[in-house]
Amino acid sequence: MFEIKAKDNMGRVGVLKTKHGDVKTPALMPVIHPRKQAIDVAKYGADIVITNAYLIYKDDELKKEAVEKGLHELIHFDGPIMTDSGSFQLSVYGDVEITNKEVLEFQELIQTDIGTSLDIPTAPFVDREKAEEDLKITIERAKEAVAFKKENNIEMLLNSVVQGSTFLDLRRECAKELSALDADLYPIGAVVPLMESYHYKDLVDVVMNSMKELSDTVPRHLMGAGHPMIFALCVAMGCDLFDSAAYILYAEDDRLLSTRGTFKLENLQEMPCSCEVCTKYTPDDLRAMPKKQRRDLIAQHNLHVSFAELRLIRQAIYDGNLMELVEERCRAHPALLEAVRHLSNYSEDLEKYDPRSKKSAFFYTGPESLGRSEVLRHIQKLRQMPKKRDLIILPSSKKPYSKFISGKLGDFYAYGDDHEIDFDDTDFMVLDIPFGLIPLEIDEVYPLSQSDAPKTRDVDSMEFIEDFVSEFIEYYDQVLIHKRVAGDLDMDLSEGEMYGGDVRYQKDDVKKVKAIADYQFGIGAGEALFKGNINIEKSKKTGKIRHIYDGKTLIVNMRASDSYLILSKEGAKRLHSAMPYPQNRVVVNEDSVPFALDGKSVFCKFVVECDENIRAKDEVLIVDEDDKLLAYGKSLLGACEIEQFETGQAIKTRKGMKK
């Protein structure tokens, strides 16, 4: 019913399968009023729409036509249709003249693709007693809806809406209970008031706490979110579907949507984009038109902007630079900027879903970039890596740093124990924005080399780096800090003494690949993989390491784009022998064993356990329940998703161990 095709942070490009066609997500569902249909939204890019089953039910003429002809013919749309149950009217008017069971039966009768139970939308910031009472009814109705579908063997997909107002524990409780019901989609409801009042920070809390308990195997729908300005942020939090009537409601009021906000026609001297409407007409042309003609053209523009933004977001997910787009878009409004900064409080949740390697380089766009998964992950790895006795901190230079560092490295201040520096027992690291410190042995690993930041450093990044370095150097007996670095860190130079000896860095390829293995697979992997008669083969064109052998036996290849190690059969054996269970492992059931041995790809439904630290695109070992090595390959999903999905590929197997 739902497959993930690409992912970045919690954002994913997916395919939602329905009886009226497939929908590529993230997707916008324009709201179609069953009686006031203004324009053909399919003509402008809509693959799926949403309409209101309750309005059709209450209108005798529409109800009769919908029952006789079906919903698709009623609203003249051939693709998938979602229907709301009347919850919006319930939130506005306080009551509706239909029961939960009646609206479910009616949605099935008129052949909707995705129906919705009659949840209770609880407004933000109500008292807790009210929120708890409403939530109890919402969950009871969701259970009734799922039972109704199963008992009647209904094909209609079913929404179960997450409610709980702005009480985050209630949102989590609701999401957990609904996930256990095994519905088909999970909308997050009653968030429109937050968006209308620019409470985007609260929106982040509501969405992220709902996501904590929602299944990764189904689409998540943010109800009523239709302004393109917020799409990128919401997709990064895991939202797959959006719906809104904003395209036509704003057009009725002569307002044009954009990713930078909303423009009033009366104030426009230039058209805001390059869509067909904006290139064909001027603001004066639109102002001179009859109301209906002007409304329809502005609605077309609004749809164009919305669908174009979603295409851009999907491409950003494919490329791996979704968070850069989020940071760019959130500068359109101070409340959005506050929201993306607040999102950094959920960095650990985002990191679980974020691939370690991506197509795009990491661009630092401002202090918000310090909260990204890549930064969190590197600092955690750095703290875990074994420390030598002493540390030398060098200033940043051209990347990759290790390629351009040679000869005498300059003047240094010494801090800590006053003893002779043993350069073989010393870690060489470069001060870097935003990754803090980068060991020279691993500086070519993504994204440490594949990154860029402005040379003019902002206050937030420097405070971040200073705090990290001050804490990190406590692990070492003695620290030599380059004079330029000491100045950058605003350190009290009176605490250190000028180091009198020469400081030189000696490149060692074996140490390099061992450090990369430890960084990639875990401490101890380097020594396990690279023992024996190590022979390193480099590219004649670039000088980069390409293949690493023990004598003539291939152990690993090194991928040129990100310097991650790709296991060979021998490498998989060595890693498996040395690393403790379940590290780097995906465990498959007995039924899957012969297929894995033959080198067949592993599907999610056959996985019984996996290392929780596995992320999409990681090199993994495939083992049986007795930890026998069966194969090795590349993970297509992260551990969270592998354990939840019952369909689709989990691991693209590179080779089985069968002789």
| Residue among 510, 489, 507 at smallest CA distance from 409 | 507
Strand pairing report for 114-116 and 553-558? unpaired
CB 597 within 8 A of CB 630: yes
The residues annotated with a catalytic role in the active site are 84
* Distances 279 to 69, 301, 544 between C-alpha atoms, Å: 39, 11, 49
Alpha-carbon distance of 502 to 556, in angstroms, equals 36
Task: Quote the tokens at residue 519.
Answer: 């960084």
Which amino acid is located at 626 in the chain?
D
Strands (E) across 235-333 are located at 241-244, 255-258, 261-264
Neighbours of 470 (CB within 10 A): 11
Alpha-carbon distance of 587 to 581, in angstroms, equals 10
Omega before 400 within 30 of 0, i.e. cis: yes
Instruction: Label residues 271-293 b or e (16+ Cβ within 10 Å = b).
Output: bbbebebbeebebeebeeeeeee
Residue 651, phi then psi, degrees to nearest 5:
-130, 130
Instruction: Label residues 357-368 b or e (16+ Cβ within 10 Å = b).
Output: bbeeebbbbbbb
Which amino acid is located at 573 in the chain?
K
Residue 360's Cβ-side half-sphere holds a number of Cα atoms within 13 Å equal to 16
Beta bridge partners of 622: 586, 631
Instruction: Label residues 496-514 b or e (16+ Cβ within 10 Å = b).
Output: beebeeebebeeeeeebbb
Omega before 80 within 30 of 0, i.e. cis: no
| Residue ranges in 181-230 assigned as alpha helix (H) | 192-196, 200-211
CB 532 within 8 A of CB 570: no
| Sign of the alpha-carbon torsion through 246, 249, 253, 256 | positive
Residue 479 sits at the vertex; the CA angle it makes with 473 and 485, to the nearest 5 degrees, is 85
Burial category of 102 from C-beta neighbours within 10 Å (exposed 0-12, middle 13-18, buried 19 and up): middle
Strand pairing report for 545-550 and 534-538? antiparallel
Distance of CA 387 to the CA centre of its chain: 32
- The three-state secondary structure class of 514 is helix
Cβ contacts of 303 within 8 Å, gap of 6 or more: 30, 39, 41, 44, 45, 46, 247
CB 369 within 8 A of CB 337: no
Strands (E) across 110-240 are located at 114-116, 157-159, 186-188, 220-222
Neighbours of 628 (CB within 10 A): 12
Neighbours of 89 (CB within 10 A): 19
